[in-house]
Amino acid sequence: MSPEQRRTADNRLTVRQDTPRSPKDPEFARSTDLSKRSRRRWEKANPQRFRTAQDLYETSMSIGQIYAAKGWDRKPESRIVQDPEHGLHGDASAPASNVMDRQLPGFEDPQAAATPPRWEDLSRVKQASIQARVAIKTGATINSMTKAIGSQIDQSYFRADTQGLDQPVGSDFYDPSSDVGTAVDEAAQSTGLSRNTMLNMMGVTSPKNKFSLKSPGGEMTYPNLMSGVRASEMESSHPDMPVGDIQKPASDAMTDDFIRDQNLGAVGYPANMRKASTLARVERTEGSAAADPKKLFVTKGGAGGGMGPKTGPFVNSFRPSQPDFFVADIHSGGGGMLPHLSKKDERWWDSSSKSPAEEALEIKGIHSMMDFAHRQAMAERGLSSISRSQAGQWAEERYQSEAATKTERDAVDALGPEEPVVHPDQFTLFDAGSYD
């Protein structure tokens, strides 16, 4: 197939590969236009996916007015939780912050995981470069991302409203008192480590590790958290053994062979287990404040944290003291903002291959762009909690795309009848259950 044929082929559900690298290339503008037209065609063919609150309620009220009338723009009432590291949090009487507010200097959580820079903190030249790469590869823009994620947020609230709920199903995922929040606390208590360190251990062991899994007996387990617990046990049972360099472990350290002997290979990559063990050892020998992944794990390029642009924000979402950053995973960043890209990997026989949506999320800078688009959608609706908004949209996307597990779907269906918000055939290209 010639380059011209590849450019004009219908690649609506893939990331465009044969694109010029330099905007100065005469073909750059042409390729960008083809990608944008491809996305617009998908949007035109799937109007149900973009129904907003105005469409769903058939009203001329603005979206902001609808949220205000429903009371959705108010800060949701939270249960007060005593946290030994941060005191009381979840104070429902506290004023709702604006999602465009900046973090006050000096008030950051010192142990928070590293996150990508906020869009507003990037230079205009950097912003333009990111937008150009995203547009030529996917056809998406900040406005199209805002439109896509905003409509699905509306659909999550509409579904909740028709079922008599105050908030979308799943929006409390990151709350300290949720099932996951309770599991994090229990994991920290079992190891004697701080909650902050356990969250960071969960973050560094997350690659290629399932976050949750239902046991044959029906009990929900968290393999990702268990990796942190096992790493802590490995360190505490061998306090005099060097953990070893996370990239090149010494022969007398906790090497790959040692980790396999400890039956730890099944719960995370050896290098990541060493990272988690390092965090545990530093807290036990130097105190919890010293167990800062941003200082302990620094790459050759100078970046710190030992976590990717999705994992850092995910871990921080469990920290009430830390400002949220949008978690752009396969369901929120992919299905929420790039719904025209398939989440199904057609090259299933190649273990190194990724789906088009996953490839898009690897475009450098796209996570900052998506965080800004999400906050724009939230600001239009008067919403204040990024983590609650993202968690509710995440559950809605999984429900719509048939990726939800039977238990998750039954939990939503059991709440009562709902008006469908998408066309039943719209998401048949997406595979069910592969990204649970």
The domain locations on the chain are 1-176+320-436, 177-301
pLDDT in tens, 314-335: 999 998 767 789 999 988 998 8
Closest CA to 53 of 68, 41, 34: 68
**H helix or E strand, kind and range, residue 89:** strand 87-89
Pairing assessment for the beta strands 81-83 and 213-214 based on DSSP bridges: unpaired
CB 6 within 8 A of CB 18: yes
Burial class (CB within 10 angstroms; exposed 0-12, middle 13-18, buried 19+) of 87: exposed
Closest CA to 383 of 393, 395, 370, 368: 393
CB 185 within 8 A of CB 222: no
Task: Give the CA-trace dihedral at 106, 107, 113, 116, to 10 degrees.
Answer: -70
d(CA 148, CA 223): 32
d(CA 280, CA 193): 7
pLDDT of the chain along its 436 residues, tens only?
Answer: 333 433 333 334 456 556 666 777 778 888 888 888 888 988 898 898 999 999 999 999 999 999 999 999 876 555 444 444 444 444 444 444 567 766 666 667 777 888 899 999 999 999 999 999 999 888 999 999 999 999 999 999 999 998 888 899 889 999 888 889 999 999 999 999 999 999 999 998 888 777 888 777 778 888 888 888 988 988 898 888 888 766 565 656 776 666 666 655 455 577 788 889 999 999 999 999 899 888 888 776 555 677 889 999 999 999 876 778 999 998 899 889 999 887 776 665 565 677 888 888 999 999 999 999 999 999 999 998 899 999 999 999 988 876 555 665 566 555 544 444 443 333 333 333 333 3
